[in-house]
Amino acid sequence: MSKQFELLQPPSDGISKLRFHPTDDTKLLVSSWDQQVRLYDAQQNQLVASHHDHCAAVLDTVFGSNGAFSGGLDRRVLAWENYSHTREIGCHDGEISALEYVSSGNMLLSGSWDCTLRAWDSRAQGGAAQIAKLDVEERIYSMSARETLLAVALAGRKILIYDTRKLDAPIEVRESSLKFPTRCVKLMPSSLGFVCSSVEGRVSVEYLNGATKSNYAFKCHRQPAEDNVDLVYPVNAVAFHPVHHTFVTGGSDGAVSLWDPDNKKRLKHYQGYPTSISALDFNASGNMLAVASSYTYEEGEKDHPPDSIWIKPMTENEARPKAKKN
């Protein structure tokens, strides 16, 4: 099997998000605190394009139909058209923390610390772009879209589930079973539920109304310390394998774990990354996993390794769940 490798020309400051293209296995988008958005060819290990048109840290980026979108601390939503030039689609009253793109309606969704969820027609010019603005109770921390579903994780541990065809009100409102703030929410490929992770080394697997499976939660990304006390790390990132529907988690312990949600088992544990895992994503075929190793400041200002992006080849069987026992 090929060994994992480090991408050349990584961001110079904190990596906030990694996104593989939904159909092109090689295109990888990266947003970062150095105010840039970068597009890599992950297979050729090449920086293809970048833009520096934000005035502050970029917290999220997502592919669109003919380019990409980005948002962050400057409160602006930018479209990066054909990876050549940018234009402003709109703005929030607070920092933009999360973006998702719904291809069926050419709709961009943005979540913000201004306690609003907004929908934009990605093709419209100027003020006509905003097609919906929804007030929510708390700041939005994380979002995940799949087909017609959208999951929105709020600061107060609530998870809102929307049907993107009718955004006027959530179809489900959940209180996360985790007792500490949510770091990441990710819808299952089956759309039957979602996985969310918290700052306190736990992950919950939760099913939507009508599903026949039971919710559960488990501890992870912890290291034994003295006096039988665990050192607990935030779980910053979650990504589902597109074929086998297993998922990976990345923590501030610098490790990545691969989980089988049906059998409730850890399948693999990948250690040795230089610092915190801030972002993860599988490519469309599931044969590559991108891992961002980027200090997330849970221990405050201190010397830390430089930011890096690792491409880990995945074999056909590596992410496959184990056969169920009778």
pLDDT above 70 as % of the chain: 97
Q: Which backbone phi and psi does 179 adopt, to 5 degrees?
A: -85, -5
Mean confidence (pLDDT) of the chain:
94
Half-sphere exposure of residue 313, counting CA atoms within 13 Å on the CB side? 10
> What span, in angstroms and rounded, lies between the C-alpha atoms of 197 and 276?
15
Q: Distances from the Cα of 264 to the Cαs of 203, 218, 324, in angstroms? A: 11, 9, 11
* Residue of 191, 196, 189 whose CA lies nearest to 209: 191
Least trusted range by pLDDT, from 5-19, 125-139, 267-281: 125-139
Total residue count of the chain as it appears in this document = 326
Under the banding of pLDDT at 50, 70 and 90, the label for residue 326 is low
> What span, in angstroms and rounded, lies between the C-alpha atoms of 300 and 56?
20
Q: Which backbone phi and psi does 96 adopt, to 5 degrees?
A: -95, 120
Q: Is the predicted pLDDT of residue 280 greater than 60, yes or no? A: yes
Report pLDDT for 127.
60
Q: Distances from the Cα of 308 to the Cαs of 59, 199, 313, in angstroms? A: 17, 22, 16
Q: Is the predicted pLDDT of residue 125 greater than 80, yes or no? A: no
Model confidence pLDDT, tens digit, residues 159-187: 999 999 999 999 999 999 898 889 999 99
> What span, in angstroms and rounded, lies between the C-alpha atoms of 240 and 246?
6
Q: Distances from the Cα of 216 to the Cαs of 197, 260, 316, in angstroms? A: 12, 13, 28
**Is residue 252 a contact partner of residue 278, using CB atoms and an 8 Å limit?**
no
Report pLDDT for 128.
63
The highest-confidence range among 176-180, 263-267, 303-307, by mean pLDDT, is 263-267
Query: Which positions ≥6 away from 253 have C-beta within 8 Å?
Result: 221, 222, 223, 231, 233, 276
Q: Is the predicted pLDDT of residue 313 greater than 50, yes or no? A: yes
